[in-house]
Amino acid sequence: MAIAAVNAASSTASNWLKEAQESLAAAEAPGGMMGALQDSRAGYSIKTFLAKSQNNLYALAQIAQNAQTSSSALTVQMSQAAAQKRHDELVALAAKLNPVQSNFNPPKGLDPFIYFDDGSSLDTTNNILTMSNGKQIDTTTGLEYHDPKDIVSMANGAYLDTKNNILTMSDGTKVDTITGLKITV
């Protein structure tokens, strides 16, 4: 009884269907090493034995080649998967470290003018608080505000408010320029 040749590389070959068909055909006719030995007993010639041995050599070489090809393909596939994973990790890290600003709306600033119930108002653009009696205060310094176009500066540090006709001396004394009287607060 002959032992059928079994191709162990069938599952790793690139054309497994062809190999399966060849294995079925080989199973019907004794072949392989056992078939070659069996043939040598049955009166076959050395020429037939060597031809079958050569065919077996080609079959074994094909199995080795298929195994090498499959191994190389698997190595390439694994290296591509590793490279893709590393690329995805780097992209995720870059996105985490450098987030993209999207739909940024700057915070809304103050209204240019804020009106209060007591009649005073605040000019948020120029930082001037105007009291209900008309007095203006610079909100950044807390000092009384005088419009620069209405002020005449003197050499000794005094200045004249031409809008209100008040002369402020360098020591802080205020004099009404119309009446000449000293103003006390």
How do residues 65-87 score in pLDDT, each as one tens digit? 988 998 999 999 999 999 999 99
Mean of all residue pLDDT scores within the chain? 81
DSSP string, 92-157: HHHHHHSPPP-S--PPP---SEEE-TTS-EEETTTTEEE-TTS-EEETTT-SBP--GGGEEE-TTS
Residue 38 · residue 90 · CB < 8 Å: no
- pLDDT exceeds 90 at position 9: no
How do residues 138-179 score in pLDDT, each as one tens digit? 999 888 888 888 889 888 989 888 888 889 898 989 999 999
User: Residues for the chain: how many in total?
Assistant: 185
d(CA 59, CA 157): 112
Q: What are phi and psi of 121, to 5 degrees?
A: -145, 155
Average of per-residue pLDDT across 4-27: 63
Residue 7 · residue 19 · CB < 8 Å: yes
- Which pTM does this prediction carry? 0.35
pLDDT of residue 10: 47
Indicate the SS3 state at residue 50. helix
Q: How far is CA 179 from the centre of its chain?
A: 74
pLDDT of residue 104: 73
Greater pLDDT, 9 or 51: 51
pLDDT of residue 108: 83
Which H helix or E strand runs over 86? Answer: helix 46-97
User: How far is residue 9 from each of residues 16, 31, 59, measured CA to CA in Å?
Assistant: 9, 17, 10
